[in-house]
Amino acid sequence: MAKPEKVAAVDRIIEKLRSTDVYYLVDFRGLSVGDATDLRSRLRANGADLIVVKNTLAKRAAAEAGIEGLDGLFEGPTAIAYCGDDPVAPAKTLVGFVKEKKKLVIKGGFLQSQILLQAQVEQLAQLPSREELIAKVVGGIAAPLYGLANVLTGPIRGLVVALDQIREQKAAA
């Protein structure tokens, strides 16, 4: 690669590293083009992009972006999965892909200024997704409200039942 192309590539990597605070590094050795395309589409559906990088350029970009501790992860063929808002869904996608295809190796990741090891990425993939957590919070808030509404309608319901029984008694008599 000519020097201006390398500078542009480093700038693109720096921009991507600074645009998000969650990304995962993977070794894509043994991945066919079809498998790579499948992985990219799965990640894209979860708000992530997979980009193959040259290790020397990625190391330089990480240093210029002020990210320390990633140098050990830039060994062998490396691709970076840049994530959007939800760090769990792309982690689940990568771990699921590894279990399914057995061709991809998760090297580690970066989550809000903390370096993640492979085991930590796998633990992150076991967490509920953002949508599931939001649903649990909403359910937790709604349950007491539903109970309150049920308690408040209880006396009215009892009155209606009593009036109905009086009506039935008068109709029978």
Q: What per-residue confidence (pLDDT) applies to 1?
A: 56
Co-location of 92 and 146 in the same domain: no
Q: What per-residue confidence (pLDDT) applies to 2?
A: 62
Domain edge (last residue) among 127, 143, 163: 127
Q: How far is Cα of residue 111 from the mean position of the Cα atoms in its chain?
A: 11
Co-location of 94 and 33 in the same domain: yes
Question: Is residue 67 over pLDDT 70?
Answer: yes
Full residue range of the structural domain in which residue 72 is found: 3-127
What domain count does the chain have? 2
Q: How far is CA 73 from CA 133, 148, 151, 164, in A?
A: 31, 54, 58, 75
Contacts for 7 with CB less than 8 Å, ≥ 6 apart: none
| Chain segment 148-163, per-residue pLDDT in tens | 777 788 888 888 888 8
Percent of the chain at pLDDT above 70? 99
Co-location of 67 and 152 in the same domain: no
Instruction: Report the alpha-carbon distance of residue 93 to residue 45 in Å, rounded.
Output: 10
Co-location of 37 and 121 in the same domain: yes
Co-location of 53 and 86 in the same domain: yes
Co-location of 86 and 168 in the same domain: no
